[in-house]
Structure 1
């Protein structure tokens, strides 16, 4: 059985009893699970039990591009992360400047060591979800519009490491870019004339898999990891349009907790361990807590470590910090 939260008003025996009754309804998972996923009452009980599971969220202050941190992790079942946005760097503002391409290449090289460490930490068959946008260089700052295909570079890096590339998800995330004439719109350039530039309103959720066989989790874990039919139909499609971005007040490039929660529930089981090597403001571990998963986060900036701890305290998470 699972370890339950000590803060709950329900006794452990009561929660064990509810779980046992849910599991007892499964005679044949292949037939029972589709029926259960359509049962709103059953799925409401599953959702309630998820919030009762005691998890552990571990934060490390460190540089995830350093291969040595991987030795401290142990085994993880899923990686959910979003690397820093390269185009948040400040470039010289001069005509014809496309940005320091050599710096972009160095940025990519640093990412390789992170993906390799994630590969080593993942269990066979484990997944990695990387939320990333391409690097858009504007004409105003760099002399011309240009897109550096960061998503494609990461996919190729992962393939060379040994990951299996899976179909990505396209997240239609409305940006705050404007046209060159300072009007909001779907393009960049002169209004109503040819050769405008289509705005970058899409982020990629790259899905990678470490080779290996399918896992055989316990029946209790499978039951509590069920996804309701309406959510399953909405989530397991390649284009996501109904998910808003997160506020950038406290962090320049956060992703919403709802996004991390989707990915965690889609690609892991209750009780699994989720890793985020670029923790930032802590969205992944907040989502892991509400999803009944353990989490490990690595973050180099002390301010974001403190912010993550505050957010986790707000959801009554058990937190362990290594500074």
Structure 2
């Protein structure tokens, strides 16, 4: 549990608190106080999970984290029997009388959802659309009737009433992402869905500068411009995220690589980090080759922009 708390704290602290994010968190907290679940959706790498955990911590209640996956079922959410406990009593106090009693009981373990519902935790259901719709149907009863049905559990009670302090925050990627299931409208209608997009170039540059203080401000700006320019070549809202920019910044600072579009080490670093996300988001007959060419061209253009800027200052 200590490791989990440390992980949640680290994720919450990773949310860069600018005015826009602060306003979003405050609005979302008010919606939750009114009894409405929050759903953060958007492309990978924009910080939805960190944002959800930061919001959950503001409720000042214990936080339970669940990650969606296609194999998840009711037993994972509600709980299951984990084995048997056997108790045996042998009474031979009177030598002529021998008495033996044996009692066997099943051991039950609460699932994370059941534990959160019973004790009023804040549940963060990360990437919930990676679970099947039939698995997520259980949330309809929780959000509408205020009960958690104990399906197929052989419990004496057919359901558990939802604790009044219980709240849930969902996160998801758009439906065009691989491994994502379509969500039932009945569930989405009960959520306040907020789209989280990529930050603008200036904000991404300030995040890179904040996370990698060893990097000069103009270098952080150059990396943010690079990833943003490449993102414009992608379909939809896919493409390199702030994570890619941070990777480049941290590795360049660690290896003392110049943030220079003509520097061969820098170009190779960009190719290593950016080729995969670019090849997955562009439409081309040979996406891998096209991605590499786009990255090399963008690096060269980055150097030309630096030269124009120097000339303008002179």
When normalised by structure 2's length, the TM-score is 0.24
Q: Which structure features the higher share of helix residues?
A: 2
When normalised by structure 1's length, the TM-score is 0.24
Question: Which one has a bigger Cα radius of gyration?
Answer: 2
